[in-house]
Copies of this chain bind each other. A is one copy, B any other.
């Protein structure tokens, strides 16, 4: 099969790779759309030791099942495979499974390719006629769904009465903001430095957007969702959260700095890390997408797989305004 292969730092090559083979309960899926994630960017830059070259990246995908139990159905793919039998799996937190695997990380190849195989339980059927490129957004938006769910659970008030700030207007940040809108959050701010992207996301929902490099943005808020995860955004999160408020930390741009232990302690700030989503979150997000609860979702930039190398460079340089670039194998 044809695949976009990461061959070393900032190097991607479209080349032939062995066709994957579905076994047991697995399905063989012909990929129709696969989005580029920040973690793909991180791996491409050579900064993710868990993703050594050569490797097919990509884990935000939807396509058509051509072999296996769901043959003939269009599906969106939950790329996270857990063991199903450990304590966290049995209590519905399978995203924390110590044996979890995700496509695009060995031993599993990624979705920037013509085909992948996946267990049937990881597939959510897409309604007839619904675009696979919108369905492929289930993965990044489910990260936001999960973060909003975990953060809301800790808040000392209903999310409908909470002021919220999302740091970063990529697909994860925008996704979290769309979920907050769906939950009727009291006020939703998005901090985004890229002016073209800022303009685009301002039209996607009831959002107040601002440039954190120039503007102060909101006063302190009840809930901050950090969809970026660098020292600067964590510092901003700790400065912008109210006493007693919650920071949900999704992004992991860098792992050090920005945590204000003093303020966390004296003002009872809660900092909770969030990683991907549970199976239920993924299904709930896909359903919300299918039912139109998360807006028009007309913001991805869709390109051919062969244009993948340029797309990665455009994201790095900031030339890509869209919160998501989706590749078509």
Residues of A within 8 A of B (CB): 88, 91, 93, 95-96, 98, 150, 153-154, 156-157, 229, 234, 243-244, 249-250, 252, 255-256, 258-275
A261: nearest chain-B partner, CB-CB: B255
A256 — nearest CB in chain B belongs to which residue?
B261
Nearest CB to that of A274 among chain B residues?
A: B268
Can you give 5 A-B contacts (C-beta < 8 A)? A93-B244, A96-B267, A234-B261, A255-B260, A255-B265
CA distance A153 to B154 in the complex (A): 8
What would 10 more interface pairs be, CB under 8 Å, given A154-B154, A263-B273? A88-B244, A93-B244, A154-B272, A229-B261, A249-B264, A255-B260, A255-B261, A259-B261, A265-B274, A268-B274
Residues of B within 8 A of A256 (CB): 261
Set B88, B243, B275: member contacting A98, Cβ < 8 A: B243
Chain B residue with minimal CB distance to A247? B271
**Interfacial chain B residues near A265, Cβ < 8 Å:** 229, 249-250, 252, 255, 273-275
Protomer copies: 2
Identity of the chain B residue whose Cβ is nearest the Cβ of A263 in the assembled complex:
B273
Q: By the criterion CB–CB under 8 Å, are B268 and A270 in contact?
A: no
Distance of A2 from chain B, by nearest CB (Å): 32
* Chain B residues in 8 Å Cβ range of A272: 154, 264, 268-271
A262: min CB distance to chain B, Å: 4
Report Cα–Cα, A241/B13, bound state, in Å.
42
Partner of A252 from B153, B154, B229, B266 at Cβ < 8 Å: B266
Residue of B nearest to A97 (CB): B243
In the bound assembly, the distance between CA atoms of A268 and B275 in angstroms comes to: 6
Q: Which of B88, B154, B266 contacts A270 (CB 8 A)?
A: B154
Which partner residue on chain B sits nearest A150 by CB separation? B268
Give min CB distance, A245 to chain B, whole Å: 10
CA distance A256 to B249 in the complex (A): 19
CB proximity of A249 to chain B, nearest CB, Å? 6
Contacts of A98 in B (CB 8 A): 243
Distance between Cα atoms of A265 and B249 in the complex (Å): 7
Q: Which residues of B contact A150 (CB under 8 A)?
A: 268
A3–B88 CA distance with the chains assembled, in angstroms: 56
Bound CA–CA A269/B266 (angstroms): 20
Q: Are A271 and B268 within 8 A (Cβ)? A: no
A234 and B269 CA atoms in complex are apart in Å by 16
A156 / chain B contacts, CB cutoff of 8 Å? 91, 93
Of the candidates B88, B243, B250, B269, which one forms a contact with A243 in the assembled complex, judged by CB atoms under 8 Å apart? B88
For A234, the closest partner residue in chain B by CB is: B261
Residues of B within 8 A of A96 (CB): 243-244, 267-268
Contact status B261-A249, CB under 8 Å? yes
Bound form: Cα–Cα A275–B98 in Å: 33
| A236 CB, nearest partner CB in chain B, Å | 14
